[in-house]
Structure 1
Amino acid sequence: MTEQQTVTVADVAEPAPEPVAEPAPAPTAPRRSRRVLRAVARWTAAVVVCGGVGAGTAMGITALDREDVPGLATESDGRWEYPQLTLPALPVDRPRPYNDDNEGEVHHADVRQLLLPAPVGATVDPKTDGGFVSTDAYLSLYGKEYRADMKQALADSALRHIAARAWTTPDGTRTSIHLLRFISVPYAQQYHDDTLRGGYGTVGIKTLPDGVEGFVMDSFTEGVKVRDTKAEAFWERKPYGPEQTRWAYVQAGDTLALITQTRKGEALAVPFQQTVTLQNQLLG
C-alpha cells in the first residue's frame, strides 16, 4: 500500500448532524446507528492499517536471504573458501579454447595456471604445488594392476605434460588435481574413452583409484553447465576401508582433469562438488 493510500483512524470523518429548526432530542435509534457506523469505520481503518503493516513485513522477510533474518541464520553448508579465481592471460593473438576461431579447442594458456588454487586454511603438498609432475606420480593414484597399461596408453597418446596440485584441509580431506594436456582433442578423448572407461559409450569404469573396489556414479555433474566440456564423477560405495574416495574427470578440449578427494570415514559431497565445479569452470 502506498503512502497516499494509507488509512488511519484520523482519516475517517464523522458524519455531521443535519441542521434542525429548533433544538430537539435526537431519536434514540439514529444516534445508536451513528455510533455503530463510527465504530465500524474505526475498526475498518485499524484492520486496513494493521493489514498493510503485516503485509509489508512479510514481503520484507521473504525478500531477505535466510542468513539476513535474525534468528534464521544458518551454519556453513560445508563449502570451502577459495581465493578469487581469474583466468590466466593468453599469449598475444591466441583465443580461448572454445572461441569460434579456435577449432582445435586448444588451451593456449600455461596449463599450470589453470589449476584450481588450494582453499583458505589448507596445507599444500610441497611436492605437488602447481608444477609439472611425472607420469608415474600421476599413475600412483590408480590401482597397481592398471598402471602398466595406462602408462603405455599415455605413451601412445601424445601426452604433452601433467600439471598437478594437492592439499589437505583441517578436517583431513586430501585433494589432488591433475591436468593432463595432450597434443590434440582426439588423443585426449581416446585416452579417456578407451583407457579410463573401457571404450566409447561404455557405462563402466576400466581403471579405478588405488584401493577402490566398487563405485557409484554421481549425478551432480548433470547440473554443471560449462560450454563444450564434460564432467563425470564417482564415489566409492560401501563397504570400504577406513577412508572413502571420490573422484571426477573433466574433458575440456585438449586437456583432461582428474580430481580426487579422500577422507577418513567419509569423503564429504559438498566440498567435492564445489571443487569439481570450479576446476571445470577454469577449463571452460
Structure 2
Amino acid sequence: MSALPAIVRKLGHYSFNPNIGFKNLQPLCKPCLQCVCDIGKDGRLVCVTYSDTNKNQLKCIACDCRRHKCGGIPDELLGAAQWYWNFCVDLFARDPGQANAPANALPHVAVWRVTQALDDCGTAWARVHEQLKSPLKLADSSDMSLYLLQEQAAVRSLLSLQIMMQFGGATYTQSDVAARVGAAQPTYSRDDTKVEALARELVRLRTAETTSVSGEKPRAAMRAGLAAGTITRVLADRTRQSPLVAVAYVGAPPIPRKRKRDDDDDGDGGGNGDGNGGDGNGGDGNGGGDGSGGGGANP
C-alpha cells in the first residue's frame, strides 16, 4: 500500500499528454521522479542516462552526481509531473538574468515570488516522493506490530474482494472497486496530507508571478539551486535518452540493488570457485553465492 490512492483523488485531474511529452527531453522520454523534484531548482536540468551502455541505463547523470537512487514516475502521478516539469522549463526560459533575456522576461519582483513558490513546491514533491518509497520511514518503531496487523487485514480484504469478483459472481463498477480498494488501505498509509500539500502548491504556482506576498525582495535573476558541476554534466549529454528506471513505491516488485559483475557466472555458484568450497563453506568465504561453495564437494 502507498500514497497512490490519494494521488488519484487529489491529482487525478492532471492528465498526461504523450504528444506534448517533457520539454528539453528526447521524444517519448520521461524523467525520473528525483529529477522532477529538482527541476524547480534549475530549469536547465535534463534527465539523461549515465551511460549509453546497457548496464548503465538504470540511472541518470543528475542522480549519480548527487548519490540519489533513480526511480520512475508512477502512472498516477505522470500528469502532474508533466505539468510541473514543463511549467518550470517555461518559467526559467523567462529568466531576466540570461545573456539574451526574452521580451516576456519576468519582472524582478516576480522572480522573487516564483522562486519562493518553486522552493515550496519542490519540498512538497520531495515529501510525496519519500512517502511513495517508504511510508514508514518516519513512523515510531514501537507501532510496527500495529502496522503489520493493518497490512494483514488489508491483504485479507483485498483477497476477499478478488475471490468475490472471480468466483462469487459479484459485479462491481470501476468506481465501486476503487472505493473498496481505498477502504482496505491500512490506516497508517492513508495519510494524504503530503499529497494535499503538493496539490495546493501546484495551484499556487499557477498565479505565483502575479500574487503579492509579504517580505518581497526583488531579484534580477532566477536562482541556480543545483551544483554547477551537475548542470555541466547533464547539459554535455543532453541528447541522450532518459534512463529506463523502474517505478519505486511500496507495493512494487523489489528492485535489485547490486549489479552483476562482469566476471560473475550465472550467480548461483558464486565467487572464484576456490574459496572454501572444499569444506562446504564457500558461501561464507569468497563464494558469495548460496552457501554451497564454488569449488568441489566433500569426498
Q: Shorter-chain TM-score category?
A: under 0.3
Q: TM-score, normalised by structure 2?
A: 0.20
Higher-Rg member (1/2):
1
Q: TM-score, normalised by structure 1?
A: 0.21
Larger proportion of helix: 2
Larger proportion of strand: 1
